Structure 1
Amino acid sequence: MQRKQWMRLQAVPLAAILLLTACRGHGTGNSLVTSGGAAEPKKEVHFSIAYAAGDPATKQAIAATIEAFMQAHPDIIIQDSSELSSSAYLDWLKLKDAVGEFPDLVEIRDTDAFASAGKIVELPSGLLELFDNLPQVNGKVWNAPLFVSAPQGIIYSKQAYARAGITRLPQTYGEFLDIQKKLKAVGMTPLVVGAKDIFHLGFWVNKFLIDEVYDKDPDWNAKRTAKQVSFTDHNVVQAMTNFKELFQTDVNEGWLSTNDNQTASMLTSGKAAQLYSGTWMFSQIEEADPGFEYGFYALPDRSGKRNVVGLPSPTGWSLSAEAAKDTEKTEAIKEFIRFFFAPEPYSKFLAGINGLPSTKEKITYDTGEQMQEALKLMADPDVTKSLMINNWWGDNLIPPDFRNWFYKLLEEMILTDGDVTEYMNRADREYDRQVQDN
């Protein structure tokens, strides 16, 4: 098979998305000069940090930034307590809290829950100026967003498409299903799914929920909490029927025992022709096979409309309430956040995950054709931007434990070939129970 080297293209000038400016200077010395002229070592400050580490590219990019910060600030020691795991991040954080090890600086994705429980404090006012469009929860900003939500879509092998005679990207979901038939006809597994990591299952679940539900009704969650809509309504049943049918016919047989971090190698090795995921996978694919030729596109709905994840949400670095009681620790954490989002380290971080910047400062990095397609989607006013079921907030917040329960329910539905409406009845009952408990 012919290979070509990965092309690096000049960064696209999307002023609303990519930003670049000079980094504001901060002292990096590790000593103090006394009035007598003698230097004294700065007092060491230690703090712990945690983040969702299920994606290897993000884990590596954050770890590299932490290492660079400690080299520049030898008096500040950061304990990275994150670890790669197939368990849900929210459950992991709850466990850390239960054993008295809740991190000092933590990536929070369930801001309502942790803010209401008094586990985190508002983002310090001196950091607010770094960002654009910060969502508020209960009228307050709690997070320094690591990046803007990136669109998800089909990452496909160009060789596989050529082998199956596919010369045109699908314009509707029906055409996408036709492509799956063509791939199977030449003996290929159409799609790889890494559902051993529960969050990976959510990519497909939310693809169909956004198409059938949130595209037309962004406040559906709030209406469900108020019992004005139901999981048994036609639109939700249709979404989950699409999900069930796809998984029963077009995904790899071992999808439930496949890790998310295995999907890139399965794609590049030809064990599957496509992967539905986000832009953070691009670097993993290139690392698995630098010469692998692949494309990226937003999967249209049945009418041909393109809807993607892409709205800002209240997630990101948050300062724990316990750490906020320690002035020295708080100042060290603020220094790290300023460093993290400064142009040079932040551009390296974003390049490592093919991410979209959340800062006001203009950040640029070289992008390939796949990332440029993602940027075009974000800039296209005809592409609906939405959120996953658990990323809404305020009145649209769902119970914190419902997402994982729902995903596991859907796994059972597929494995048992269960009736979709019956399973959505179960979802209604559980949702109401969790709302009452919370």
Structure 2
Amino acid sequence: MRHDFSRRSLLLGAAGLAGAGALGVSATPAGAAPRTPLWKTAKQRGIVFGSSTATWQLSDPDYAALFSREAALLFTEDDLLWYRLKPTPDADLDFSYADQIIAFAEAQNMRVFGAHLVWDEGFGDGWTEDDLWGMSEQRARTVLFGTARAVVRRYRGRVDAWSVANEVTSPEGERGYRTDVPWWEPLGPSYVEEAFHVAHDADPHALLVINEFGFETVNEWGDEPGPRRRATLQVIDKLLDQGAPVHALGVQAHLLADQFRDRFDAGAYTRWLGEVADRGLQILITELDVQDDGLPADVAARDAGVRDVYRRYLDVALSCRDVRAVMAFGLSDRYTWLEEDYPRDDGAARRPLAYDDDLAPKPAYAAIANQLGGAPHRPLLWSIPE
């Protein structure tokens, strides 16, 4: 059985990196009551549900058990980023963390979404500005494509989908492409197309994704979603015209709660999802959470507001049958990136996810479960063992 925790034999040893069995799962998530796991609710409607996580989070046995219960798809949050894989420009590739996270997913019979092959962040302190922005064409090709090729080859047949190009579009860029990335000066826009070919050659059966943000409402900096949608479609069209093997769009869906009800144009969003699908692409929601700005500090009121954002958004997004997967950007407020990167101005702890800091389900959990369970049925993208 897929969620028979008594069969979990992975242990987080002191060495941590000694082998594939480095992450452990305790018997029962703390505070969990019997309920249908989110992945099972989603599967009944043909949707694959999962979440991001990382080895450092899964060293918490209660959280590892919760994650194993609720997710059928694991988004590799940290362990395939360059600060893990290649902590300095001259370092050999270090797959120890990546091996652990993928072994964990396999032990739970989970599908894997690998992130990210091409991104302008995630390098860590071992890379200087000169290292990133001073590469020659040959150096950039060797570093970027050599790393991507080696990573995909290593996990060929074990990673089901790759975020090949992450955050490479911009309305202020050139023909929809961002230009403020290290790869632009030495390689130009062709680096995105070539990255897809490199990944496809290394694993012809993997689903290849362009992953992007900013499609839902005006963001905290005042940027409207329309230009981002158009820029992303422009890049997708260019890639498809070039014959690049782009199979899916990843929609990050970091939702801003502030005035979401008034700012979210359901009709425009639905039409845009249809435009993506008309190009033959699958749609994956890849990094779903709610930034609770604009909501009161009071916990009950804020939780109700976050629940309403999830309800409104998923009701619209899941009405499109080409949305084939939903990945939360974490399951518990205990491990949310928003607390560290974007703390609230009033000092109140962020509450963006389905479970609270004590791993107890919140109103957001009910909203996600209800929308998954009530979504129109669609064909299942991947088989999911019971």
TM norm structure 2: 0.29
Bigger RCO (CA 8 Å, 6+ sep): 1
Bigger radius of gyration among the two: 1
